Amino acid sequence: MVGEWLPLTEVGRRLGLSTGRAKQLLKDKKLIGVRRGGPEPEVPAKFIAGDDVVKGLPGTLTVLSDSGYDDVEALRWLFTADDSLPGAPIDAIVAGRHTEVKRRAQALAF
Protein backbone atom coordinates (compact mmCIF):
# COMPACT_ATOMS: atom_id res chain seq x y z
CA MET A 1 0.00 0.00 0.00
CA VAL A 2 2.78 2.46 0.90
CA GLY A 3 5.35 1.51 -1.69
CA GLU A 4 8.89 2.71 -0.96
CA TRP A 5 10.05 3.04 2.65
CA LEU A 6 13.11 4.92 3.95
CA PRO A 7 15.03 4.00 7.10
CA LEU A 8 15.22 6.86 9.58
CA THR A 9 18.95 7.36 8.95
CA GLU A 10 18.20 7.89 5.23
CA VAL A 11 15.41 10.34 6.10
CA GLY A 12 17.90 12.30 8.19
CA ARG A 13 20.44 12.27 5.37
CA ARG A 14 17.90 13.52 2.81
CA LEU A 15 16.73 16.27 5.14
CA GLY A 16 20.26 17.24 6.14
CA LEU A 17 19.63 16.27 9.77
CA SER A 18 21.29 14.02 12.29
CA THR A 19 19.53 10.76 13.10
CA GLY A 20 18.69 12.21 16.51
CA ARG A 21 16.96 15.20 14.95
CA ALA A 22 15.11 12.89 12.54
CA LYS A 23 13.91 10.89 15.57
CA GLN A 24 12.65 14.16 17.06
CA LEU A 25 10.52 14.70 13.94
CA LEU A 26 8.81 11.39 14.75
CA LYS A 27 8.29 12.36 18.39
CA ASP A 28 6.90 15.76 17.36
CA LYS A 29 4.52 14.07 14.85
CA LYS A 30 6.03 16.00 11.93
CA LEU A 31 6.61 12.57 10.38
CA ILE A 32 5.40 9.11 11.24
CA GLY A 33 7.23 5.87 10.82
CA VAL A 34 6.87 2.28 11.83
CA ARG A 35 9.23 -0.56 12.58
CA ARG A 36 9.05 -3.07 9.78
CA GLY A 37 11.44 -5.67 11.12
CA GLY A 38 14.64 -3.67 10.80
CA PRO A 39 16.66 -1.99 13.53
CA GLU A 40 15.07 1.45 13.07
CA PRO A 41 11.72 2.99 12.16
CA GLU A 42 10.97 3.47 8.48
CA VAL A 43 9.12 6.38 6.89
CA PRO A 44 7.18 6.35 3.61
CA ALA A 45 9.32 7.91 0.87
CA LYS A 46 6.33 9.97 -0.30
CA PHE A 47 6.65 12.00 2.92
CA ILE A 48 9.94 13.51 1.69
CA ALA A 49 10.11 16.01 -1.20
CA GLY A 50 13.67 16.91 -2.13
CA ASP A 51 15.33 18.01 1.10
CA ASP A 52 12.16 18.73 3.10
CA VAL A 53 9.03 17.13 4.51
CA VAL A 54 6.09 17.39 2.08
CA LYS A 55 4.27 20.67 2.67
CA GLY A 56 1.05 20.17 4.60
CA LEU A 57 1.92 16.73 5.93
CA PRO A 58 2.86 17.75 9.51
CA GLY A 59 -0.43 19.61 10.00
CA THR A 60 -2.42 16.69 8.65
CA LEU A 61 -0.57 14.30 10.96
CA THR A 62 -1.39 16.56 13.92
CA VAL A 63 -5.09 16.58 13.00
CA LEU A 64 -5.13 12.79 12.65
CA SER A 65 -3.37 12.37 15.99
CA ASP A 66 -5.80 14.77 17.66
CA SER A 67 -8.64 12.70 16.15
CA GLY A 68 -7.34 9.62 17.98
CA TYR A 69 -5.50 7.93 15.13
CA ASP A 70 -2.32 6.07 16.04
CA ASP A 71 0.58 5.99 13.57
CA VAL A 72 -0.53 2.80 11.81
CA GLU A 73 -4.12 4.03 11.46
CA ALA A 74 -2.89 7.39 10.13
CA LEU A 75 -0.69 5.64 7.57
CA ARG A 76 -3.59 3.46 6.50
CA TRP A 77 -5.85 6.53 6.09
CA LEU A 78 -3.22 8.50 4.18
CA PHE A 79 -2.51 5.70 1.71
CA THR A 80 -6.05 4.36 1.17
CA ALA A 81 -7.71 5.54 -2.04
CA ASP A 82 -10.61 7.95 -1.65
CA ASP A 83 -12.82 8.26 -4.74
CA SER A 84 -13.90 11.77 -3.75
CA LEU A 85 -10.33 13.15 -3.91
CA PRO A 86 -9.59 11.13 -6.29
CA GLY A 87 -6.70 8.98 -5.16
CA ALA A 88 -5.19 8.58 -1.74
CA PRO A 89 -4.94 11.54 0.67
CA ILE A 90 -1.12 11.41 0.51
CA ASP A 91 -1.28 11.89 -3.26
CA ALA A 92 -3.48 14.98 -2.79
CA ILE A 93 -1.04 16.36 -0.19
CA VAL A 94 1.92 15.81 -2.54
CA ALA A 95 -0.08 17.56 -5.30
CA GLY A 96 -0.51 20.63 -3.07
CA ARG A 97 -4.10 20.00 -1.99
CA HIS A 98 -3.20 19.61 1.70
CA THR A 99 -5.88 22.05 2.93
CA GLU A 100 -8.61 19.87 1.43
CA VAL A 101 -7.09 16.75 2.99
CA LYS A 102 -6.75 18.46 6.37
CA ARG A 103 -10.46 19.40 6.28
CA ARG A 104 -11.35 15.75 5.64
CA ALA A 105 -9.10 14.65 8.50
CA GLN A 106 -10.79 17.15 10.83
CA ALA A 107 -14.20 15.72 9.92
CA LEU A 108 -13.02 12.30 11.17
CA ALA A 109 -13.08 13.58 14.75
CA PHE A 110 -16.80 14.34 14.68
4-28 pLDDT, tens digit per residue, is 999 999 999 999 999 999 999 999 9
Per-residue pLDDT at 110 = 60
Instruction: Identify the sign of the CA torsion 73, 25, 58, 87.
Output: negative
Per-residue pLDDT at 98 = 94
Average pLDDT of the chain to the nearest whole number:
93
- Tell me the average pLDDT across 77-101: 93
| Exposed/middle/buried for residue 97 (C-beta within 10 Å: 0-12, 13-18, 19+) | middle
